[in-house]
Structure 1
Protein backbone atom coordinates (compact mmCIF):
# COMPACT_ATOMS: atom_id res chain seq x y z
CA UNK A 1 0.00 0.00 0.00
CA UNK A 2 1.51 3.32 -1.05
CA UNK A 3 2.24 5.91 1.55
CA UNK A 4 0.01 8.95 1.22
CA UNK A 5 1.47 11.06 3.98
CA UNK A 6 -0.48 13.18 6.42
CA UNK A 7 -4.06 13.78 5.41
CA UNK A 8 -3.64 12.20 2.00
CA UNK A 9 -4.35 13.83 -1.37
CA UNK A 10 -7.98 14.76 -0.72
CA UNK A 11 -7.70 16.30 2.71
CA UNK A 12 -4.28 17.77 2.09
CA UNK A 13 -5.60 19.68 -0.89
CA UNK A 14 -8.69 20.74 1.00
CA UNK A 15 -6.91 21.80 4.16
CA UNK A 16 -3.90 23.34 2.43
CA UNK A 17 -1.18 21.20 4.00
CA UNK A 18 0.07 17.65 3.57
CA UNK A 19 0.77 17.13 7.24
CA UNK A 20 -1.77 16.52 10.00
CA UNK A 21 -0.61 19.48 12.09
CA UNK A 22 -0.61 21.75 9.06
CA UNK A 23 -4.08 20.59 8.09
CA UNK A 24 -5.38 21.30 11.57
CA UNK A 25 -3.87 24.78 11.52
CA UNK A 26 -5.27 25.52 8.07
CA UNK A 27 -8.67 24.37 9.26
CA UNK A 28 -8.38 26.85 12.11
CA UNK A 29 -8.89 24.39 14.96
CA UNK A 30 -5.44 24.58 16.54
CA UNK A 31 -6.03 21.03 17.84
CA UNK A 32 -3.31 18.42 18.00
CA UNK A 33 -3.50 15.55 15.49
CA UNK A 34 -5.20 12.31 16.47
CA UNK A 35 -8.30 11.34 18.38
CA UNK A 36 -9.34 13.46 21.34
CA UNK A 37 -11.01 12.53 24.58
CA UNK A 38 -14.38 13.37 23.03
CA UNK A 39 -13.96 10.53 20.54
CA UNK A 40 -13.50 12.87 17.58
CA UNK A 41 -10.44 12.49 15.37
CA UNK A 42 -8.50 14.90 13.20
CA UNK A 43 -10.77 14.29 10.22
CA UNK A 44 -13.79 15.26 12.33
CA UNK A 45 -12.10 18.52 13.24
CA UNK A 46 -11.07 19.28 9.66
CA UNK A 47 -14.48 18.54 8.15
CA UNK A 48 -16.24 20.54 10.88
CA UNK A 49 -13.98 23.52 10.19
CA UNK A 50 -14.60 23.35 6.44
CA UNK A 51 -18.34 23.01 7.00
CA UNK A 52 -18.17 26.15 9.12
CA UNK A 53 -16.19 28.30 6.67
CA UNK A 54 -17.63 26.81 3.45
CA UNK A 55 -21.17 25.66 4.25
CA UNK A 56 -21.88 25.59 0.50
CA UNK A 57 -19.56 22.56 0.06
CA UNK A 58 -20.49 18.95 0.71
CA UNK A 59 -17.51 17.66 2.72
CA UNK A 60 -18.99 14.18 3.22
CA UNK A 61 -16.39 12.49 0.96
CA UNK A 62 -13.67 13.57 3.37
CA UNK A 63 -15.36 11.64 6.17
CA UNK A 64 -14.52 8.38 4.37
CA UNK A 65 -11.63 9.03 2.03
CA UNK A 66 -9.44 11.07 4.36
CA UNK A 67 -9.63 8.25 6.90
CA UNK A 68 -8.76 5.69 4.22
CA UNK A 69 -5.80 7.85 3.23
CA UNK A 70 -4.59 8.24 6.82
CA UNK A 71 -4.97 4.51 7.47
CA UNK A 72 -2.95 3.78 4.31
CA UNK A 73 -0.17 5.98 5.67
CA UNK A 74 -0.08 4.08 8.98
CA UNK A 75 -0.21 0.70 7.22
CA UNK A 76 2.60 1.69 4.88
CA UNK A 77 4.84 2.57 7.82
CA UNK A 78 3.94 -0.65 9.66
CA UNK A 79 4.67 -2.79 6.61
CA UNK A 80 8.02 -1.11 5.97
CA UNK A 81 8.99 -1.70 9.60
CA UNK A 82 7.87 -5.34 9.54
CA UNK A 83 9.66 -6.17 6.30
CA UNK A 84 12.77 -4.34 7.47
CA UNK A 85 12.89 -6.50 10.59
CA UNK A 86 13.20 -9.49 8.25
CA UNK A 87 15.88 -7.91 6.09
CA UNK A 88 13.53 -7.16 3.20
CA UNK A 89 12.46 -4.08 1.34
CA UNK A 90 8.82 -3.82 0.40
CA UNK A 91 9.45 -4.49 -3.28
CA UNK A 92 11.49 -7.58 -2.39
CA UNK A 93 8.61 -8.93 -0.34
CA UNK A 94 6.21 -8.28 -3.23
CA UNK A 95 8.24 -10.41 -5.65
CA UNK A 96 8.93 -13.19 -3.16
CA UNK A 97 5.30 -13.26 -2.06
CA UNK A 98 4.07 -13.57 -5.65
CA UNK A 99 6.33 -16.59 -6.13
CA UNK A 100 5.24 -18.09 -2.80
CA UNK A 101 1.54 -17.71 -3.62
CA UNK A 102 2.01 -19.55 -6.90
CA UNK A 103 2.55 -22.79 -4.96
CA UNK A 104 5.20 -25.47 -5.54
CA UNK A 105 7.58 -25.28 -7.28
CA UNK A 106 7.23 -21.50 -6.59
CA UNK A 107 8.24 -20.65 -10.11
CA UNK A 108 6.97 -17.91 -12.47
CA UNK A 109 8.16 -16.19 -15.61
CA UNK A 110 9.06 -12.49 -15.35
CA UNK A 111 5.98 -11.66 -17.46
CA UNK A 112 3.79 -13.52 -14.96
CA UNK A 113 5.30 -11.48 -12.13
CA UNK A 114 4.60 -8.13 -13.78
CA UNK A 115 0.83 -7.84 -13.16
CA UNK A 116 1.30 -8.97 -9.55
CA UNK A 117 3.92 -6.33 -8.77
CA UNK A 118 2.75 -3.46 -11.02
CA UNK A 119 6.18 -2.53 -12.38
CA UNK A 120 7.72 -2.33 -15.85
CA UNK A 121 9.64 -5.20 -17.42
CA UNK A 122 12.90 -3.27 -17.05
CA UNK A 123 12.31 -2.70 -13.36
CA UNK A 124 11.38 -6.35 -12.89
CA UNK A 125 14.63 -7.47 -14.53
CA UNK A 126 16.63 -5.31 -12.13
CA UNK A 127 14.68 -6.61 -9.13
CA UNK A 128 15.17 -10.23 -10.12
CA UNK A 129 18.90 -9.59 -10.54
CA UNK A 130 19.11 -8.13 -7.03
CA UNK A 131 17.12 -10.95 -5.44
CA UNK A 132 19.24 -13.53 -7.25
CA UNK A 133 22.41 -11.84 -5.98
CA UNK A 134 21.05 -12.23 -2.46
CA UNK A 135 20.37 -15.92 -3.01
CA UNK A 136 16.61 -15.54 -2.58
CA UNK A 137 15.65 -16.56 -6.13
CA UNK A 138 17.25 -18.31 -9.08
CA UNK A 139 16.81 -17.63 -12.76
CA UNK A 140 16.77 -20.68 -15.04
CA UNK A 141 15.41 -22.05 -18.30
CA UNK A 142 11.77 -23.13 -18.23
CA UNK A 143 11.70 -26.96 -18.17
CA UNK A 144 8.65 -26.87 -20.44
CA UNK A 145 10.07 -24.39 -22.95
CA UNK A 146 13.81 -23.80 -23.01
CA UNK A 147 13.27 -20.48 -24.80
CA UNK A 148 11.68 -19.03 -21.67
CA UNK A 149 13.29 -17.98 -18.40
CA UNK A 150 11.62 -18.69 -15.07
CA UNK A 151 12.27 -17.25 -11.62
CA UNK A 152 12.12 -19.67 -8.71
CA UNK A 153 12.26 -19.22 -4.94
CA UNK A 154 15.28 -20.70 -3.22
CA UNK A 155 14.88 -22.40 0.17
CA UNK A 156 16.32 -19.24 1.74
CA UNK A 157 13.84 -17.06 -0.12
CA UNK A 158 10.93 -19.24 0.90
CA UNK A 159 11.93 -19.18 4.57
CA UNK A 160 12.38 -15.41 4.52
CA UNK A 161 9.07 -14.59 2.88
CA UNK A 162 7.18 -17.02 5.12
CA UNK A 163 8.65 -15.45 8.26
CA UNK A 164 7.90 -11.93 7.00
CA UNK A 165 4.33 -12.85 6.09
CA UNK A 166 3.63 -14.33 9.53
CA UNK A 167 4.93 -11.16 11.19
CA UNK A 168 2.94 -8.97 8.81
CA UNK A 169 -0.34 -10.72 9.59
CA UNK A 170 0.28 -10.46 13.32
CA UNK A 171 1.08 -6.76 13.02
CA UNK A 172 -1.91 -5.97 10.83
CA UNK A 173 -4.31 -7.97 12.99
CA UNK A 174 -3.56 -5.48 15.75
CA UNK A 175 -5.02 -2.72 13.55
CA UNK A 176 -8.39 -4.51 13.69
CA UNK A 177 -8.46 -5.36 17.39
CA UNK A 178 -11.24 -2.86 18.04
CA UNK A 179 -13.62 -4.44 15.51
CA UNK A 180 -15.77 -7.53 15.90
CA UNK A 181 -15.58 -10.32 13.31
CA UNK A 182 -18.92 -9.14 11.92
CA UNK A 183 -17.70 -5.55 11.66
CA UNK A 184 -14.51 -6.68 9.92
CA UNK A 185 -16.50 -8.63 7.34
CA UNK A 186 -18.81 -5.68 6.77
CA UNK A 187 -15.90 -3.30 6.40
CA UNK A 188 -14.24 -5.64 3.90
CA UNK A 189 -17.46 -5.73 1.85
CA UNK A 190 -17.73 -1.95 1.84
CA UNK A 191 -14.11 -1.43 0.87
CA UNK A 192 -14.44 -4.03 -1.89
CA UNK A 193 -17.37 -2.12 -3.33
CA UNK A 194 -15.37 1.12 -3.12
CA UNK A 195 -12.25 -0.29 -4.79
CA UNK A 196 -13.89 -2.50 -7.45
CA UNK A 197 -14.61 0.22 -10.03
CA UNK A 198 -10.92 1.17 -10.12
CA UNK A 199 -9.83 -2.41 -10.77
CA UNK A 200 -12.32 -3.45 -13.44
CA UNK A 201 -10.73 -4.08 -16.87
CA UNK A 202 -10.67 -0.90 -18.90
Structure 2
Protein backbone atom coordinates (compact mmCIF):
# COMPACT_ATOMS: atom_id res chain seq x y z
CA UNK A 1 0.00 0.00 0.00
CA UNK A 2 1.16 3.51 -0.79
CA UNK A 3 2.52 5.61 2.00
CA UNK A 4 -0.11 7.88 3.54
CA UNK A 5 1.64 11.25 3.32
CA UNK A 6 -1.48 13.19 4.33
CA UNK A 7 -1.89 11.02 7.42
CA UNK A 8 1.78 11.49 8.31
CA UNK A 9 1.48 15.26 7.86
CA UNK A 10 -1.62 15.27 10.05
CA UNK A 11 0.21 13.37 12.81
CA UNK A 12 3.12 15.84 12.65
CA UNK A 13 0.82 18.85 12.88
CA UNK A 14 -1.12 17.30 15.75
CA UNK A 15 2.17 16.84 17.62
CA UNK A 16 3.35 20.38 16.84
CA UNK A 17 0.12 22.33 17.27
CA UNK A 18 -2.67 20.30 18.85
CA UNK A 19 -6.23 21.32 18.11
CA UNK A 20 -5.86 22.40 14.48
CA UNK A 21 -8.73 21.50 12.13
CA UNK A 22 -6.77 19.23 9.79
CA UNK A 23 -9.45 17.15 8.08
CA UNK A 24 -9.68 19.40 4.97
CA UNK A 25 -5.88 19.22 4.57
CA UNK A 26 -6.01 15.46 4.94
CA UNK A 27 -8.81 15.09 2.36
CA UNK A 28 -7.15 17.34 -0.24
CA UNK A 29 -3.72 15.84 0.44
CA UNK A 30 -5.01 12.32 -0.15
CA UNK A 31 -6.87 13.44 -3.27
CA UNK A 32 -3.70 15.03 -4.66
CA UNK A 33 -1.58 11.98 -3.82
CA UNK A 34 -4.10 9.56 -5.33
CA UNK A 35 -4.18 11.63 -8.52
CA UNK A 36 -0.38 11.78 -8.67
CA UNK A 37 0.08 8.05 -8.08
CA UNK A 38 -2.63 6.99 -10.54
CA UNK A 39 -1.31 9.35 -13.19
CA UNK A 40 2.38 8.46 -12.84
CA UNK A 41 1.91 4.71 -12.34
CA UNK A 42 -0.92 3.91 -14.73
CA UNK A 43 -1.71 6.76 -17.13
CA UNK A 44 1.61 8.34 -18.12
CA UNK A 45 2.98 5.01 -19.44
CA UNK A 46 -0.03 4.80 -21.78
CA UNK A 47 0.55 8.34 -23.08
CA UNK A 48 4.24 7.53 -23.61
CA UNK A 49 3.43 4.26 -25.39
CA UNK A 50 1.32 6.18 -27.92
CA UNK A 51 3.73 9.14 -28.22
CA UNK A 52 1.51 11.75 -26.59
CA UNK A 53 1.77 14.12 -23.67
CA UNK A 54 -1.20 14.22 -21.24
CA UNK A 55 -2.48 17.59 -22.52
CA UNK A 56 -2.28 16.42 -26.13
CA UNK A 57 -4.23 13.29 -25.23
CA UNK A 58 -6.87 15.45 -23.53
CA UNK A 59 -7.28 17.59 -26.67
CA UNK A 60 -7.63 14.56 -28.95
CA UNK A 61 -10.08 12.84 -26.57
CA UNK A 62 -12.17 16.00 -26.30
CA UNK A 63 -12.40 16.29 -30.07
CA UNK A 64 -13.23 12.59 -30.43
CA UNK A 65 -16.01 12.59 -27.85
CA UNK A 66 -17.54 15.76 -29.34
CA UNK A 67 -18.92 13.63 -32.17
CA UNK A 68 -18.70 14.05 -35.92
CA UNK A 69 -17.28 16.16 -37.45
CA UNK A 70 -14.89 16.06 -34.42
CA UNK A 71 -14.23 19.80 -34.53
CA UNK A 72 -14.33 22.54 -31.89
CA UNK A 73 -13.15 26.11 -31.61
CA UNK A 74 -10.08 26.74 -29.43
CA UNK A 75 -12.39 28.35 -26.84
CA UNK A 76 -14.64 25.28 -26.77
CA UNK A 77 -11.58 23.08 -26.38
CA UNK A 78 -10.27 25.21 -23.54
CA UNK A 79 -13.64 25.15 -21.77
CA UNK A 80 -14.03 21.36 -22.00
CA UNK A 81 -10.47 20.21 -21.30
CA UNK A 82 -8.41 20.45 -18.16
CA UNK A 83 -5.72 22.47 -19.90
CA UNK A 84 -4.73 26.09 -19.33
CA UNK A 85 -5.35 28.46 -22.21
CA UNK A 86 -1.66 29.41 -22.24
CA UNK A 87 -0.63 25.87 -23.06
CA UNK A 88 -3.30 25.28 -25.67
CA UNK A 89 -1.59 26.90 -28.66
CA UNK A 90 1.65 24.96 -28.19
CA UNK A 91 -0.29 21.70 -27.87
CA UNK A 92 -2.29 22.44 -30.98
CA UNK A 93 0.90 23.25 -32.88
CA UNK A 94 2.45 19.90 -31.89
CA UNK A 95 -0.70 17.95 -32.74
CA UNK A 96 -1.03 19.71 -36.10
CA UNK A 97 2.64 19.01 -36.94
CA UNK A 98 2.04 15.32 -36.12
CA UNK A 99 -0.94 15.28 -38.51
CA UNK A 100 -3.43 14.50 -35.73
CA UNK A 101 -5.46 17.72 -36.04
CA UNK A 102 -6.01 20.47 -38.60
CA UNK A 103 -7.03 24.08 -38.19
CA UNK A 104 -9.94 24.88 -40.50
CA UNK A 105 -11.74 28.18 -41.10
CA UNK A 106 -14.87 28.42 -38.95
CA UNK A 107 -18.04 27.76 -40.94
CA UNK A 108 -19.88 30.89 -39.80
CA UNK A 109 -17.23 33.23 -38.32
CA UNK A 110 -14.46 34.25 -40.73
CA UNK A 111 -12.30 35.48 -37.83
CA UNK A 112 -12.33 32.11 -36.05
CA UNK A 113 -10.92 28.66 -36.67
CA UNK A 114 -12.06 25.19 -35.77
CA UNK A 115 -9.71 22.51 -34.57
CA UNK A 116 -10.61 19.22 -36.25
CA UNK A 117 -9.44 15.69 -35.64
CA UNK A 118 -7.83 14.15 -38.72
CA UNK A 119 -8.49 10.53 -39.70
CA UNK A 120 -5.00 9.75 -38.33
CA UNK A 121 -5.89 11.44 -35.02
CA UNK A 122 -9.22 9.60 -34.78
CA UNK A 123 -7.56 6.27 -35.50
CA UNK A 124 -4.93 6.92 -32.80
CA UNK A 125 -7.52 7.81 -30.17
CA UNK A 126 -9.72 4.86 -31.12
CA UNK A 127 -6.72 2.51 -30.63
CA UNK A 128 -5.65 4.26 -27.45
CA UNK A 129 -9.01 4.48 -25.69
CA UNK A 130 -9.29 0.80 -24.63
CA UNK A 131 -5.71 0.85 -23.32
CA UNK A 132 -6.37 4.07 -21.41
CA UNK A 133 -9.60 2.73 -19.90
CA UNK A 134 -7.83 -0.47 -18.83
CA UNK A 135 -5.14 1.62 -17.10
CA UNK A 136 -7.83 3.61 -15.30
CA UNK A 137 -9.52 0.39 -14.18
CA UNK A 138 -6.19 -0.82 -12.75
CA UNK A 139 -5.75 2.48 -10.92
CA UNK A 140 -9.03 2.06 -9.02
CA UNK A 141 -8.89 -1.69 -8.31
CA UNK A 142 -8.43 -0.93 -4.61
CA UNK A 143 -12.12 0.08 -4.54
CA UNK A 144 -15.07 -2.11 -5.45
CA UNK A 145 -17.69 -0.79 -7.87
CA UNK A 146 -19.96 0.59 -5.14
CA UNK A 147 -17.02 2.41 -3.54
CA UNK A 148 -16.00 3.84 -6.92
CA UNK A 149 -19.55 5.14 -7.45
CA UNK A 150 -19.65 6.61 -3.94
CA UNK A 151 -16.28 8.31 -4.40
CA UNK A 152 -17.30 9.67 -7.81
CA UNK A 153 -20.48 11.08 -6.25
CA UNK A 154 -18.59 12.63 -3.33
CA UNK A 155 -16.02 14.21 -5.65
CA UNK A 156 -18.82 15.59 -7.85
CA UNK A 157 -20.37 17.15 -4.74
CA UNK A 158 -17.01 18.56 -3.63
CA UNK A 159 -16.39 20.09 -7.07
CA UNK A 160 -19.91 21.56 -7.19
CA UNK A 161 -19.23 23.34 -3.90
CA UNK A 162 -16.04 24.99 -5.15
CA UNK A 163 -16.09 28.39 -6.88
CA UNK A 164 -15.77 28.28 -10.67
CA UNK A 165 -12.35 29.08 -12.06
Compute the TM-score of the two structures, normalised by the length of structure 2. 0.83
Shift of 1:115: 1.3
Give distance in 2, aligned partners of 1:161 and 1:99: 10
1:1-202 pair list within 5 angstroms: 34-35=2-3, 41-77=4-40, 78-117=42-81, 118-120=83-85, 123-142=87-106, 144-145=107-108, 147=110, 148-198=112-162, 200=164
Q: Mind listing any 5+ residue stretches in structure 1 that lack a counterpart?
A: 1-32, 36-40
Give distance in 2, aligned partners of 1:146 and 1:46: 53
Structure 1 residue runs of 4+, over 4 Å off?
A: none
Contact 2:44 2:54 in 1 (8 A): yes
Shift of 1:199: 5.2
Give distance in 1, aligned partners of 2:75 and 2:125: 21
Compute the TM-score of the two structures, normalised by the length of structure 1. 0.70
Shift of 1:108: 1.4
Q: Mind listing any 5+ residue stretches in structure 2 that lack a counterpart?
A: none
- Provide the aligned length of Structure 1 versus Structure 2: 162
Query: Aligned with 1:139: secondary structure?
Result: strand
Structure having the higher Rg? 1
The higher relative CO (CA closer than 8 Å, separation ≥ 6) is in 2
